[in-house]
Structure formats: C-alpha cells, structure tokens
Homo-oligomer: A and B are copies of this chain.
C-alpha cells in the first residue's frame, strides 16, 4: 500500500495529527488591504476563531488528553495573546504560519524574508523558543522558503503534497521533514465562503463535510498510515462541525491503537526512521530567489 511505510511507536496501528491554522482576521486584512477595517463581517467571522472556536477545541483536547498543533501567523499571535497563552498552557505546539497570511507568491523573496523574520521574533518572544514547524499560507511554499527553514533549524514543513506519509526533503543546503497535507482533508473546500477572497463554495452540511475527513482516516487506519486534517477554527470550530469531528476523535482515543499526537512528535519520529524514509530531492539552489514580477 505504501512504498515507504513507517512503523509507529508503541505498536500503534496508525498515526494522526489534527492541525488548526488560526488565521483569524488576517485573511481579510491582507486580502482587502484598502478597506479591510470597514469589513466587519469577515473580520468578525475571523475573530470567531481565536475567541470562540479555539477555547472549544482546547476543552475537547483537555478532556481527551491530547497534545496537538496549531499554526499561527505572527500578527495573529500579537493580536490574540490570550489565545497563544491558552494553547501553550495546555502544552500544545504552535507552528510558524507567516507574518499575516500573505501569499509568498505575491511579493518578492526580500519582503518574504523580512515578514518571516518578524514572525519568528514574535514566536521567540511569545513562546520562548523557535518554532519547529512551518506551514505556508495557501500552501505557497517556495524553494527560498525551504532554504530559510533549513537555515533556521526547522524540523519540518507541512505545505507540500508529494506523499501520504512524512518524507525527507533533501536540498543542497540540508534537509527537512515534510509532513504532507492534502486537499481531501482541508476544510476550505467543504466549508469556506468568503467573497472578499473570491472563494465561494456551496458549503456542505456538518456531517457531510466531516464524513469526507473520516473516510480519509478510515483508509489511513486500515493501511497503517498517517491522517492529518488541515482545519481552521472559524470553519471546523463551528459548533455543529466540531461536534462531528469531536465524536470522531473520541472514537479514535477510545480505540487506543492510533498515535494521535503533535506534528513535532510525528516529524521527530519520521526523522528517526532515517534511511527508510522517502527522499525527495529539491534543487533549491537553482531556483531564483525572487518570483518574477506578476
């Protein structure tokens, strides 16, 4: 089933990590810079994430005794310090998710480097350490960003889709674990409706939308693989949707044979498997540092 299967610790049958990207109102502020301040509806929709959904999600995690991963733009961390504190207090991981969810394909790498560093400073200041993992806004990771992650000793990225299981991205400058996402377990297609970003979906019902993620889990469980939904508090943290996913997590926990853990733990384990891990060569050296002017 897998060309490069991974054995999970303690005899667990499969591994899983639930990731939430807390973009909050950075989406509309970056997407509509000229008048975002006036757009109270998308701002309020974004604010639902850290102020309503994250406490709900943390409560579930505490009850089920889970340690999971959140990705946060630095700007969002600065705007919502209580959210950062609550997440850290419960022992969860916070990964790097850009400064304010700017798409790296829409500015030069000089700008990207500056924004990346600004977010890194925020992480160090607010979490007391450098983040170990990174996910690019809209998954737009570039070769220059890969180089930057390696340069800053990141353990893993989670933006590329070349495999079902974690793999090793090998560049001339060093390597990085990739913990791959997938559009079939991302909650934007079933749930997002945001005219301000020209992203208007027909919005699935709660059980219908979450069922797709659960079927992805079932296949991964059967094959001894890895399941990683990419969720957003303002979408899947909504009451009815979270109730569906929460029930699924309860089932997994009760089952006992799934290693449901943070991304950092997954990536460390993958790295520890060494030469058995799939290698994906990436010639980041030859890639231009700056995207051509659009």
Contact B212 A206 (CB under 8 A): yes
Contact A163 B220 (CB under 8 A): no
Complexed CA–CA distance, A108 and B208 (Å): 41
Tier of interface size on chain A: 35 or more
Q: What residues of B have a CB within 8 angstroms of the CB of A105 in the complex?
A: 35, 38-39
Complexed CA–CA distance, A160 and B238 (Å): 15
Complexed CA–CA distance, A146 and B39 (Å): 12
Q: Given A37-B288, A184-B240, A162 and B212 touching (CB < 8 A)?
A: no
Contact B203 A212 (CB under 8 A): yes
Contact A162 B47 (CB under 8 A): yes
A276 vs chain B, min Cβ distance (A): 16
Interface centre among A41, A164, A222 (most CB of B within 10 A): A41
Q: Please encode chain A, from 48 to 73, with 1 for each CB lying within 8 Å of some chain B CB and 0 for all others.
A: 10011001100100000000000000
Contact B222 A203 (CB under 8 A): no
- Asked if A274 is an interface residue, CB under 8 A from chain B, the answer is no
Contact A41 B159 (CB under 8 A): yes
Q: Given A182-B238, A203-B189, A220-B239, A160 and B212 touching (CB < 8 A)?
A: no
Contact B212 A205 (CB under 8 A): yes
- Asked if A202 is an interface residue, CB under 8 A from chain B, the answer is yes
A91-99, A120-128, A132-140, A264-272: which lies at the B interface? A132-140
Give 18 A-B pairs besides A44-B161, A206-B219 with Cβ atoms closer than 8 angstroms.
A1-B56, A35-B291, A37-B287, A38-B287, A40-B143, A40-B146, A40-B159, A41-B136, A41-B161, A44-B162, A44-B280, A48-B162, A52-B164, A184-B238, A205-B211, A207-B215, A208-B211, A219-B243
A: residues with CB less than 8 A from B are 1, 3, 34-35, 37-41, 44-45, 47-48, 51-52, 55-56, 59, 105, 136, 138-144, 146, 159-164, 178, 180, 182-184, 186, 189-191, 193, 195, 199-208, 211-212, 215-216, 218-220, 222-223, 225, 238-241, 243, 280, 282, 287-288, 291-292, 294
